[in-house]
Amino acid sequence: MTSPGHVLIVGASAAGLSTAEALRRLGHEGRLTLVDAEPHLPYDRPPLSKQVLAGAWEPARAQLRSAAQLDALAAEFVRGEPAVALDAAERTVTTASGRVLRADAVVVATGLTPHRLPGQDGLAGVHVLRGLDDALTLRARLTAGTRLVVVGEGVLGAELAATARTMGLEVTLVGMGRTLLREQLGDMVGGLLTRAHTERGVRLRLGVAVAELTGIDDQLDVAVDEPAGTDRRLGVVVDELTGAGGRVTGVRLATGELLPADAVVVAVGSRPSTGWLTGSGLTLGDGVECDARCRAAEGVYAVGDVASFEHAGLGRRLRLENRTNATEQAQVVAANLLGADRPYTPIPYFWTDQYDIKIQAHGLPAPAAEVTIAEGDPEQHRFAAVYREGGQITGVLGWNMPKQARLLRQRLLGTWQPTPPLTPA
């Protein structure tokens, strides 16, 4: 399909907005519509767990573009209007108000929905962090209390713990892993990060499950015999929940230890926001399943956290949850919408900032990989590492060494076949 007249993008965060901007840069002059469930101007998500939560940034500073820049896109923004259905064959999107939008091409960019602990919505003071409103609500709670429990030892959980600690709160982090970020970076780097948090006063309870949340008015009843509905991925075993409207007072662990809390943040992962696509005609698995061109069906593409695509260089399916991917994938989707035939073959990349630690990871640094230090010294808090599996380099990482990590990244180019830069037609 070449140069569709009307492109409808569902989701106006980084991936959706980047797709719209790339379409205009590449010469698309037709109609452009962006539908988003949030009422806010498009904003960046990485600062939410750091600068916005800490109060170092006003919310407006996290906006991706100014109102004038958005106006220059000559696009129609439908804000505060969640999409509830898609007919892929007809390329029509129905919104929560019953509005039906028809287009020549549709781009799905609906991102992620955080996992929640069963019953947490019945207790005030239990939070997730995905959107701007989440960050502002959590900040208000943290400035009014002194004790925070973070459930989840991944990137978001660790960032939240670091931010809260710098705000002066008493922080306890609970997780099922042996170290922080083990699933993302392995034991060696995860162990160093674990030590860094401990040295800064975070109380860690790793390798243990949450048994229950306790409240001043309610207690969530918990069984230990893995009833129907147990989700082991969350490290939580919950049976029947009673009561509603209470306020959280703590987190009880499977060991019996009770962690007092003025607030609890649940950061146990997310799932692709695809529920609205049931019955759409698209193939749904771990996200919207696409081909190597990010095409989910004729005239329908997916981009960003929600897109599961075939990586032609690796010969496997990937779904990447990071800000860089949202932007890079959008360039390819836009080009293919306008008639190109470009596979998307990125070198995955993510970063995290915690305290004075800046980590950049390229490739797939899996926990099973062998890790060697290529430059620097972990004891000096500056090093670059290489990950290998079966003798092949699978990832590189920089710990306060971004330049060295970028140079090491070049070792991946021959294997990963990165997508060439796009130029206007």
Report, as an integer, the average pLDDT of 278-290. 97
Cα–Cα distance between 111 and 130 in angstroms, integer? 10
pLDDT-derived band at 313, boundaries 50, 70, 90: confident
Cα–Cα distance between 319 and 306 in angstroms, integer? 7
Query: What is the per-residue pLDDT across 137-157, written as a single tens digit (0 to 9) for each?
Result: 999 999 998 999 999 999 999
**pLDDT value at position 360?**
96
Report, as an integer, the average pLDDT of 336-354. 94
Q: Residues 306, 296: contact at Cβ < 8 Å?
A: no
**pLDDT value at position 145?**
87
Whether residue 240 is predicted with pLDDT greater than 60 in this model: the reply is no
Q: Which of 72-81, 238-247, 385-394 has the lowest mean pLDDT?
A: 238-247
Report, as an integer, the average pLDDT of 225-230. 32
Query: What is the per-residue pLDDT across 259-271, written as a single tens digit (0 to 9) for each?
Result: 999 999 999 999 9
**pLDDT value at position 423?**
45
Measured torsion, CA atoms of residues 167, 171, 174, 175, in degrees rounded to the nearest 10: 30
Report, as an integer, the average pLDDT of 183-208. 97
Architecture of domain 116-268: 3-Layer(bba) Sandwich (3.50)
CATH of 356-415, one of 3.30.200.20, 3.30.390.30, 3.40.35.10, 3.30.365.10: 3.30.390.30
Whether residue 379 is predicted with pLDDT greater than 90 in this model: the reply is yes
pLDDT-derived band at 119, boundaries 50, 70, 90: confident
Whether residue 390 is predicted with pLDDT greater than 80 in this model: the reply is yes
Cα–Cα distance between 302 and 9 in angstroms, integer? 9
Cα–Cα distance between 137 and 145 in angstroms, integer? 13
pLDDT-derived band at 80, boundaries 50, 70, 90: very high
**pLDDT value at position 420?**
47
What is the Cα 258 distance to its own chain's centre?
A: 29
What is the Cα 73 distance to its own chain's centre?
A: 26
Higher pLDDT, 418 or 262: 262
Domain ranges of the chain: 6-113+271-337, 116-268, 356-415
**pTM for this structure?**
0.90
Q: Give me 8's structure tokens.
A: 């409808």
Query: What is the per-residue pLDDT across 100-109, written as a single tens digit (0 to 9) for each?
Result: 999 999 999 9
CATH topology of domain 6-113+271-337: FAD/NAD(P)-binding domain (3.50.50)
Q: Output the DSSP codes for 264-293.
A: EEE-S-EEES-GGGTTSSS-EESEEE--TT
3-state secondary structure of 213: strand
**pLDDT value at position 226?**
31
The one-letter code for the residue type at 267 is: A
**335: nearest Cα among 32, 17, 65, 28:** 28
* Burial class for 115, CB neighbours closer than 10 Å (0-12, 13-18, 19+): middle
Q: Within a 13 Å sphere around the CA of 42, how many CA atoms are in the beta-carbon half?
A: 27
Percentage of residues in the chain having pLDDT higher than 90: 82
Angle at CA of residue 365, ends 364 and 370, nearest 5°: 135
**pLDDT value at position 3?**
74
**pLDDT value at position 413?**
54
Pairing of strands 76-78, 31-35: parallel
pLDDT-derived band at 120, boundaries 50, 70, 90: confident
pLDDT-derived band at 222, boundaries 50, 70, 90: very low
Task: State how far the alpha carbon of 407 is from the alpha carbons of 25, 112, 137, 401, 403, in Å.
Answer: 30, 32, 40, 10, 6
Task: State how far the alpha carbon of 345 is from the alpha carbons of 76, 79, 205, 335, 364, in Å.
Answer: 31, 32, 38, 14, 13
Shared fold status for 116-268 and 356-415: no
**pLDDT value at position 88?**
98
* Burial class for 189, CB neighbours closer than 10 Å (0-12, 13-18, 19+): buried
Which residues are 126's β-sheet partners?
Answer: 264
Q: Which of 202-211, 227-236, 416-425 has the lowest mean pLDDT?
A: 227-236
Q: Which of 17-31, 163-177, 390-404 has the lowest mean pLDDT?
A: 390-404
pLDDT-derived band at 239, boundaries 50, 70, 90: very low
Report, as an integer, the average pLDDT of 353-365. 95
User: DSSP assignment, residue 258?
Assistant: E
Cα–Cα distance between 206 and 195 in angstroms, integer? 12
